[in-house]
Amino acid sequence: MHMVGLFPGEKRIKRTHPTARLGGFILGVLVYGAIGSGFSGTAQAVINGQEADALGMVLFQVFEQYGMPLRMYVQRGDEPWQDDIVFFYNDFSYIYWNNDRVWQVRFDHRHPDPIFGVRMGQDLASVRTTLGEPVFQAEDELLYRLAERGFPIRLRLLFGEQGLEDAYVYRSEF
């Protein structure tokens, strides 16, 4: 599991253990989603060009904007407070929840659309050319500070042998 690192100087705020209320959350998701989607069973692409728009949304906003996810699951963190409820969409994007708000969106190597103007599989040097100087760079990682929307936002890009493999857009105060 890739853990979203902290931007230097930021403190990680301890989150409430999400699995404590998982049952109620799942029930709410199923009821609201079933009512809102008319039981269509289809999932829309989660984010098309507005990669950070989902951050801070609540459940009904996510359903109205992106529809029902194809899958929903709990992703375990190294510590219990790092557990996340995750929605998976058919465009290979993932929405991560903290309590009742979206705190992170992930795009994996299969995501077909550009993310901030770069594509999965693109090499690190060309990504830097497109996005400019990152605030942090490692051998296989770039970290960018994005325009704030009432909270700090970061873009973390992870690279492998095939180029860009994962992109995380997240609220860095969580």
CA 97/CA 22 separation, integer angstroms? 11
pLDDT tens, 137-161? 999 999 999 888 888 899 999 999 9
Mean pLDDT of 87-105: 95
What residues does each domain of the chain span? Answer: 18-171
pLDDT tens, 121-135? 999 999 999 999 999
Mean pLDDT of 20-31: 46
Residue 78, classed as helix, strand or coil, is coil
Question: Position of tokens 């605030």?
Answer: 135
Length of the chain: 174
Single out the residue of 169, 25, 150 nearest to residue 83, CA to CA: 25
2, pLDDT greater than 60: no
* Widest Cα–Cα separation across the chain: 47
Q: Which amino acid is at 31?
A: V
The beta-strand segments (E) located in the chain are 71-75, 84-88, 93-98, 101-108, 136-138, 141-146, 153-160, 163-171
In 3-state terms the chain splits into helix, strand, coil percentages (rounded to 5) of 20, 30, 45
CA 118/CA 136 separation, integer angstroms? 18
Q: What is the pLDDT of residue 51?
A: 82
CA 97/CA 63 separation, integer angstroms? 13
Single out the residue of 100, 85, 108, 92 nearest to residue 157, CA to CA: 108
Q: How far is CA 64 from the centre of its chain?
A: 17
